[in-house]
Amino acid sequence: MLLLLFTGSPAARAAGTEADPFAGVAPSSASARAEPDKPWSFFSDNFGFRKELMSEFGASDKSRSSSRQSAGFEVLKKFSSETRTFAAVDFQGRLVRRDLFSGSPNDAEGAHRPGWFFEYHNAYADLYNVLDPVLTEDQQSRSVGRFNARAGRFYVPFGLNLQTDTHGSLLQLSNERNFGFERDWYSGLWGALTDDLNYDAYYLNGSGYDLKNRGQSGLGAARLSLSNHFSNEHGLEGGLSYLAGERLDPEAAERSPAIRNDAGPSSRVDTARAGLDARYRHPVPTGSVAWTSELSGGRDAPDSVFTQLHQLDYLRASRRWGLAAQFRRFWQDMSRDRALASPAPGSADSSVSAEGTWYFRNDPGNSNLHWIKLNVERRLERMQGDRPVIVTLQYYRYW
């Protein structure tokens, strides 16, 4: 019976007199009208705004206690058409109040920023698939994600920092000590080289925090890294990096009389580095463990340098708490410097750290973080100064 309602009777079909079941049915005015275009809005279309609070208290056995309080934000805006995302901009900053300084592991520049200071961290723009205007449609489809451009201030493209945002963490990776800064102003290309490899190729200003030029030639940097499917399927990240040119680093010139003689008053340091890095995450019955290593060698002319960092992390399956331990060492050939300086400088900075974290929120995508950390760092070797034990208690929220 139901079938006949839709197909008509066999006699009617044979006579060709079957009635149109939709005869007399007019489209509704709502469906006939085209949907009006929504007005474009900067703040509602692909706009992200995140807030950040940080409170830290530090103390060492060699100096007074310290306080670092801050409130910050991050703005991420993506620009899209109906079929693709073609650009994005990101800015991240915080207003900080420091009282005294004890040398917390995530505050390498804090000694030079007493009182109130507004810090900017990320300040860059990305353009996606920048070669599309000169490619055919077939070429565009084959090169999606391969040619993207970036300009602004972001992590130095050397080591795991490009894949690991350590913005709020106490434990940092090796670039800050290796180059005198972990972020720089630069421009260049990034994307997928093959299905298994990503690439980054940039020209860096070599000035660190402030965009300035004192005659340095800047730095050329290139990195090859494993694509995301290795991390998703095997828990493995890693890459090879190379960086060379001139950077500004007054602290490197201060530590080394030989570098100071070559750098002159502008503190230009002739720099070369090659690096290997890897991280491996592995599930265990109660959670997961991760091993991280960064190795790099090269020169801050005329001195040879070698950097190593090793870190072990454990995260409970509930993601409620975690433990971490880190060893880091920066070695510099000081044979020429000892002949030039009195007293003779040491040849290495090294330290070992242990850390415990309680998480109130710990989203896997790092979009909502809320924790308390306790970090204890023992400095084992110093080129300059003493070797304190530093204790840091941190409250952090990002949402």
Closest CA to 159 of 337, 33, 279: 279
* 306 lies in some domain: yes
Q: Is residue 42 part of a domain?
A: no
Residues 260 and 288: beta-carbon distance below 8 Å: no
Residue 43 lies in a domain: no
What pLDDT is attached to residue 12? 44
pTM: 0.85
The answer on pLDDT for 221 being more than 90 is yes
90/96 Cα distance (integer angstroms): 20
- Name the percent of the chain lying above pLDDT 70: 87
3 compared with 61, residue with greater pLDDT: 61
pLDDT for 251 beyond 80: yes
pLDDT value at 27 more than 60: no
Whole domain around residue 258: which residue ranges? 53-398
Residue 4 resides in a domain:
no
pLDDT at 99 (0 to 100): 95
Please give the biggest Cα pair distance in the chain: 114
The CATH number assigned to the domain holding 315 equals 2.40.160.10
DSSP class of residue 159 equals G
Single out the residue of 201, 181, 297 nearest to residue 248, CA to CA: 181
Residue-wise pLDDT for 71-85, tens only, equals: 999 999 999 988 889
Amino acid 258: pLDDT: 79
Q: What is the DSSP string of 181-212?
A: -SEEEEEEEEEESSSSEEEEEEEE-S-TTS--
pLDDT of 24 > 70? The answer is no
Task: Output the pLDDT for position 342.
Answer: 58
In a domain, 16, yes or no: no
Residue 365 lies inside a defined structural domain of this protein: yes
Query: DSSP assignment, residue 265?
Result: T
Token output for 384: 């300059």
Helices (H) and strands (E) counted in the chain, each on its own, are 9, 16
Mean of the per-residue pLDDT values of the chain: 89
> Mean pLDDT over residues 91-106, rounded?
94
Residue 245 maps to a domain: yes
Q: Quick check: is 12 in a domain?
A: no
- For residue 69, which of 46, 102, 95, 87 has the smallest C-alpha distance? 95
Q: Count the Cβ atoms, other than its own, within 10 Å of residue 63.
A: 15
* Number of domains forming the structure of the chain: 1
